[in-house]
């Protein structure tokens, strides 16, 4: 541990009473990285959808996939869980770009299966490897009655995706901007922003939105994850928190992983704002 990073020590002290393991990767994009358990493999849950989105735009960049191509919702795509498409009859026809948006914005599981079917698991994993995420893989489509595992990743891999996205260095500047705009509309900011001061997030009470987040979270019985880019008046930073090993598998807003993750996130926000755009002077 770098002796200068007293924030790490504060985070460690906060997590002493946490019933679980939190793997953290934070990058202030000025050379200061906080990595705690960042190379431990964790179930991805819906965070794998960010990787699938990146692979989609990589194929679009190559000219092998068209965002305006129409895909059909088939019975083999059906799965319960998050999203809205499982409330529709099969046979609905949608553009690839709209399926991708649903996959991220409302974490739609049916849309994700449609995208996996369209791209192929092998191609997605090859793309993930090409992007340098060697500890990340998509193992199966989303069918919880058949498979117990969706994917694996690390906080470092997931953080690297967002760090390159914010710099426009993941796929291309244009593609990265498009992906960030989709991620900004994501509805489930359950951990990163939970303890942020409301005035920073409420555009109705400020002249401008002071803080925006482009992120993708994910939850399964074995994990509670969140990661993304936090945009502040002093610039952006990247934060990823992957949680595993907790004893309570139930889903509720004040799950310990969410509560402790929100505390860690607020610590990092306060430090970044106090130091006007850095974690360390």
Answer yes or no: is 81 within a domain. Answer: yes
pTM, to two decimals: 0.94
Q: How many CB atoms lie within 10 A of CB 174?
A: 12
In a domain? residue 280:
no
Taking Cα atoms as reference points, which of 63, 70, 78 lies closest to residue 111?
78
For residue 54, pLDDT over 80 is answered with: yes
CATH of residue 232's domain is: 3.40.710.10
DSSP secondary structure letter of residue 245: -
CA atoms within 13 A on the CB side of 158: 37
Place 189 in a pLDDT band, splitting at 50, 70 and 90: confident
Length of the chain (residues): 281
| Local structure of residue 24 (DSSP, 8 states) | E
List, in order, residues 6 or more apart from 267 with CB less than 8 Å away: 7, 10, 11, 14
What pLDDT does 52 receive? 98
CA distances from 84 to 81, 106, 112 (A): 9, 8, 12
Percent over 90 (pLDDT), the chain: 84
Q: Would you place residue 241 in the very low, low, confident or very high pLDDT band (cuts 50, 70, 90)?
A: very high
Average pLDDT taken over every residue of the chain = 93
> In the predicted model, what is the mean pLDDT of residues 108-130?
97
Kindly state whether residue 28 falls inside one of the protein's structural domains.
Answer: yes
pLDDT in tens, 13-34: 999 999 999 999 999 999 999 9
251-280 per-position pLDDT tens digit? 898 999 999 999 999 999 999 999 999 999
To 10 degrees, what angle do helices 173-184 and 155-167 make?
110
For the segment 40-61, the average pLDDT, to the nearest whole number, is 97
Q: Total domain count for the chain?
A: 1
In this structure, how many other beta carbons lie within 10 angstroms of the beta carbon of residue 76? 12
Q: Are 171 and 182 in contact (CB under 8 A)?
A: no
Contacts of 17 by beta carbon, 8 Å cutoff, 6+ apart: none
Range of the domain at 61: 6-274
Is the residue at 1 inside a domain? no
The model's pLDDT over 191-201, given as tens digits with 9 standing for 90+, comes to 999 999 888 87
> 279 lies in a domain?
no
């Amino acid at each position: 541990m770098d002796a200068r990073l007293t924030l790490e020590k504060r985070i460690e002290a906060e997590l002493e009473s946490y019933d679980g393991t939190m793997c953290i990767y934070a990058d202030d994009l000025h050379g200061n990285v906080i990595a705690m358990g960042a190379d431990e493999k964790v179930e991805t849950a819906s965070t794998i959808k960010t990787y699938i989105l990146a692979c989609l735009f990589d194929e679009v960049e190559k000219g092998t996939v068209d965002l305006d191509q129409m895909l059909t919702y088939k019975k083999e795509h059906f799965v319960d869980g998050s999203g809205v498409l499982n409330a529709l009859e099969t046979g609905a026809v949608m553009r690839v770009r709209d399926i991708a948006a649903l996959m991220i914005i409302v974490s739609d599981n049916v849309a994700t299966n449609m995208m996996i079917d369209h791209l192929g698991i092998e191609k997605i994993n090859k793309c993930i490897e090409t992007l340098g995420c060697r500890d990340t893989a998509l193992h199966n489509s989303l069918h919880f009655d058949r498979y117990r595992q969706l994917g694996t990743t690390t906080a470092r891999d997931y953080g690297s995706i967002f760090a390159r996205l914010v710099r426009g260095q993941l796929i291309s500047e244009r593609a990265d901007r498009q992906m960030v705009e989709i991620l900004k509309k994501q509805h489930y900011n359950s951990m990163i922003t939970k303890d942020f001061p409301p005035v920073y997030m409420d555009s109705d009470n400020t002249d401008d939105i002071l803080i925006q987040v482009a992120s993708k979270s994910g939850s399964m019985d074995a994990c509670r994850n969140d990661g993304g880019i936090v945009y502040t008046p002093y610039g952006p930073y990247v934060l990823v928190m992957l949680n595993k090993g907790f004893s309570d598998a139930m889903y509720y807003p004040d799950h310990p992983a969410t509560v402790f993750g929100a505390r860690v996130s607020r610590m990092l926000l306060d430090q970044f704002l106090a130091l006007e755009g850095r974690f360390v002077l």
